[in-house]
A and B are shown apart, each in its own frame.
Chain A
Amino acid sequence: MKQIALYGKGGIGKSTTSANLSAALSFAGHDILQIGCDPKRDSTRMLMHGKLIPTVMDLVRERGAAAVTPADVVYTGFNGIRCVEAGGPEPGVGCAGRGIIATFQMLEKFGTLSGDVIVYDVLGDVVCGGFAMPMREGYAQEVYLVTSGELMSLYAANNICKAIERLSARPKSRCRLAGVICNAKNLPKEEELVAEFAHRVNSHLIQYIPRDRVVQLAEINRKTVIEYDPSSNQAQKYRDLAARIMENTSFTVPTPLGIDDLEALAIEFM
């Protein structure tokens, strides 16, 4: 079983990328489980044709943890992909990080964490220990960073490198940086910039995904690009990403950059 996690700045396209990646992997014949690990709970929406599924935390809040069963938390979406949303507290109260930890413990207990590939779609920044849960021992060993060529996006990706570096230093930890996905804003020299960033943090650019209107069209139609327009160039990019991830063997301990180095890098490619 392969377990991968996608991390990146909020709004950078992690959920779109995750859903299309899951769809492409599923078409390649793999049994896929996608887990949204963000209280915003919209990771699996395109796979569920626009439906916001009840989250694990919603069910715990409404019924109490003891009354929640495995069948309540897993929803089958496009092409048999199993979808789970962790959810979390209302914005501004409680502890969302603890919610992620509690969700993982429940999924573990239920035996839900199975299949050929598990895709964890995690919120923008590793703000506390709870959001590092998918990187911990027993879960995702391969972390993919999703970023554009914008400085703030690279900055967030660099921060996640710090978390991976820290966690990978623990005894028995097998969490590694597996690659950088450039979800482009179509900026000049963007692919080169992200490739160079990936290189400097001791990793590699695994896929360049251009900005394409078909993504918005698919979203309006509540579908992944893979489902909405399988013959499009964009769908091919997601299939390429899926194939490369399955073949990838380059898992590294990242070397995060200082803020000055990061800025200098961005200026270099202006």
Chain B
Amino acid sequence: MTLRPLPSNSCRSAGCTLTGALSVTTHVRDAITVVHGPQGCTHHNFSLLHATNLDNDRIVIPPLVSTGLSETDVIFGGEGALDRTLDSVIARNPSAVFVLSTCITDTIGDDVAMVCGIHNEVPVIVVPTAGFLGGPFQTGVNNALVALAGMAMPVKGNGRVNIIGEKNLEYEVEENFEEVSRLLDLLGLEVNVRFVHDLTVSQIATLGAARLNILRDPTLIPVGEYLRDRFGTPFIPAYPTGISGTVAFLETVGKICGIDYRNAVEDERAFRQETLDDFADIAGAGISFSLRSPDPEGTKVARDIAQALRLDISSTGCPVPVPVTAPVGISGVRRLLHRWRRSIHA
């Protein structure tokens, strides 16, 4: 039995388990996601995913199908509706089908796993996502990642690195990935699988080949642990953030992979200094932080950047935005400083 989180416990990122799982499963290009519930659960998520994709210049229609549950299905059980939907979806020849449950189907006790088990033409993967059980958005992300990872078998290593749990709905998801790729490149490492970001079912099979998993942020640690237990892959719990994150990141990755990181770190320090030099024109300016974003990590990073440029933080300073989530790497810091400069020079 789980308790509904009280409003005082919820924060802006709490959200719905179903939406979290959909942000993962709809990024598998050749699979179809079935949402077992009333059509509204699919519709509003479809709209959100579609709009967010457009924001990230990704013009795709989320491959989503609803079982369109009605009151009659609720009374007599929705297993028949799921079975019929799976028949029609499998007829479209997807590489896999992901089946996500909703509040009502878990309330009436539909045996989703049993229905999925009788369809073996293609892999039919169940992801538990009933939101009323208390799991927020991130639980849905983690449940989906673990369910999808279950499709991969242990394979021979290829020396590459996986990116785990990218925030597919975040603004700058590509820029953040590029920054991590840049750092890995400094160490001579290649990316194996972006798990899960715009990939195919066959790519999932190589998940276990990587020598290291890099998690987007520490909320994914349960997923990192699952992958470590399943494939023996070590993990780093977060992308590098802020002005000093990248150097520490290079050192950690280098140590885990047994790569000499000294040259990479030296190059990175030079790049960091170069970035700060590029913003010498605003050094020493007076700034103040907007208090609208309470994210402590974002605020800490903003303070570090201000200190590095000897910016004077006071209530009378020029208001500059505090990032909603901490900027990733030096590239993230650079984008933030561009925004600060615009504010200061405005």
A94–B71 CB distance below 8 A: no
Q: What is the chain B residue whose CB lies nearest that of A94?
A: B77
In the bound assembly, the distance between CA atoms of A64 and B71 in angstroms comes to 11
Contact with A along B299-312 (1 / 0, CB 8 A): 00000000000000
Contact with B along A84-110 (1 / 0, CB 8 A): 000011100111101100100000000
Determine whether B74 belongs to the interface, using a CB cutoff of 8 Å to chain A: yes
Determine whether A169 belongs to the interface, using a CB cutoff of 8 Å to chain B: no
**Most chain B beta carbons < 10 A, residue from A61, A90, A93, A102:** A93
Complex interface residues of chain A between 70 and 86 (CB less than 8 A to chain B): none
Determine whether A33 belongs to the interface, using a CB cutoff of 8 Å to chain B: no
In the bound assembly, the distance between CA atoms of A137 and B72 in angstroms comes to 24
Task: Select B108's contact among A57, A64, A90, A94, beta carbons within 8 Å.
Answer: A94
Contact with A along B72-84 (1 / 0, CB 8 A): 1111111100000
In the bound assembly, the distance between CA atoms of A88 and B72 in angstroms comes to 10
Q: What is the chain A residue whose CB lies nearest that of B104?
A: A95
B76 surroundings in chain A (CB, below 8 A): 57, 61, 89-90, 93-94, 99
Contact with B along A39-64 (1 / 0, CB 8 A): 00000000000000000010011001
In the bound assembly, the distance between CA atoms of A95 and B106 in angstroms comes to 11
Determine whether A151 belongs to the interface, using a CB cutoff of 8 Å to chain B: no
Q: What is the chain B residue whose CB lies nearest that of A93?
A: B77
B108 surroundings in chain A (CB, below 8 A): 93-95, 98
Closest CB in chain B relative to A194 CB, distance in Å: 36
Determine whether A217 belongs to the interface, using a CB cutoff of 8 Å to chain B: no
Using known A-B contacts A94-B108, A95-B108, determine if residue A89 contacts B77 with beta carbons closer than 8 Å.
yes
Q: What is the chain B residue whose CB lies nearest that of A99?
A: B75
Closest CB in chain B relative to A70 CB, distance in Å: 19
Using known A-B contacts A94-B108, A95-B108, determine if residue A60 contacts B79 with beta carbons closer than 8 Å.
no
Determine whether A220 belongs to the interface, using a CB cutoff of 8 Å to chain B: no
Determine whether A246 belongs to the interface, using a CB cutoff of 8 Å to chain B: no
B78 surroundings in chain A (CB, below 8 A): 94
A60–B72 CB distance below 8 A: yes
In the bound assembly, the distance between CA atoms of A102 and B70 in angstroms comes to 12
B72 surroundings in chain A (CB, below 8 A): 60-61, 64-65
B107 surroundings in chain A (CB, below 8 A): 95
Using known A-B contacts A94-B108, A95-B108, determine if residue A102 contacts B77 with beta carbons closer than 8 Å.
no
In the bound assembly, the distance between CA atoms of A181 and B44 in angstroms comes to 52
**Most chain A beta carbons < 10 A, residue from B71, B76, B107, B109:** B76
Closest CB in chain A relative to B325 CB, distance in Å: 41
A102–B71 CB distance below 8 A: yes
A98–B74 CB distance below 8 A: yes
Closest CB in chain B relative to A229 CB, distance in Å: 40
In the bound assembly, the distance between CA atoms of A61 and B72 in angstroms comes to 7
Closest CB in chain A relative to B162 CB, distance in Å: 41
Closest CB in chain A relative to B275 CB, distance in Å: 60
A65 surroundings in chain B (CB, below 8 A): 71-72
A88 surroundings in chain B (CB, below 8 A): 75
A89 surroundings in chain B (CB, below 8 A): 75-77
B109 surroundings in chain A (CB, below 8 A): 93
Closest CB in chain A relative to B139 CB, distance in Å: 25
Complex interface residues of chain B between 258 and 308 (CB less than 8 A to chain A): none
Q: What is the chain B residue whose CB lies nearest that of A65?
A: B72
In the bound assembly, the distance between CA atoms of A102 and B74 in angstroms comes to 11
In the bound assembly, the distance between CA atoms of A102 and B110 in angstroms comes to 19
B73 surroundings in chain A (CB, below 8 A): 94
Closest CB in chain B relative to A95 CB, distance in Å: 4
Complex interface residues of chain B between 98 and 113 (CB less than 8 A to chain A): 107-110
B79 surroundings in chain A (CB, below 8 A): 93
Closest CB in chain A relative to B232 CB, distance in Å: 42
Closest CB in chain A relative to B304 CB, distance in Å: 54
B71–A98 CB distance below 8 A: yes
In the bound assembly, the distance between CA atoms of A60 and B77 in angstroms comes to 13
Q: What is the chain A residue whose CB lies nearest that of B71?
A: A102
Q: What is the chain B residue whose CB lies nearest that of A95?
A: B108
Query: Can you pick out 18 interface pairs between chain A and chain B where the beta carbons lie within 8 Å of each other?
Result: A60-B72, A60-B75, A61-B76, A64-B72, A65-B71, A88-B75, A89-B75, A90-B76, A93-B76, A93-B79, A93-B109, A94-B76, A94-B77, A94-B108, A98-B71, A98-B74, A98-B75, A102-B75
- Contact residues of A with B, CB < 8 Å? 57, 60-61, 64-65, 88-90, 93-96, 98-99, 102
- Contact residues of B with A, CB < 8 Å? 71-79, 107-110
Known: A57-B76, A94-B78, A98-B75. 14 other contacts (CB 8 A): A61-B76, A64-B72, A65-B72, A89-B75, A90-B77, A93-B77, A93-B79, A93-B109, A94-B74, A94-B77, A94-B108, A95-B75, A99-B76, A102-B71
* Pairs A-B, 8 closest by C-beta atoms: A93-B77, A94-B77, A99-B75, A95-B108, A89-B76, A94-B76, A98-B75, A94-B75
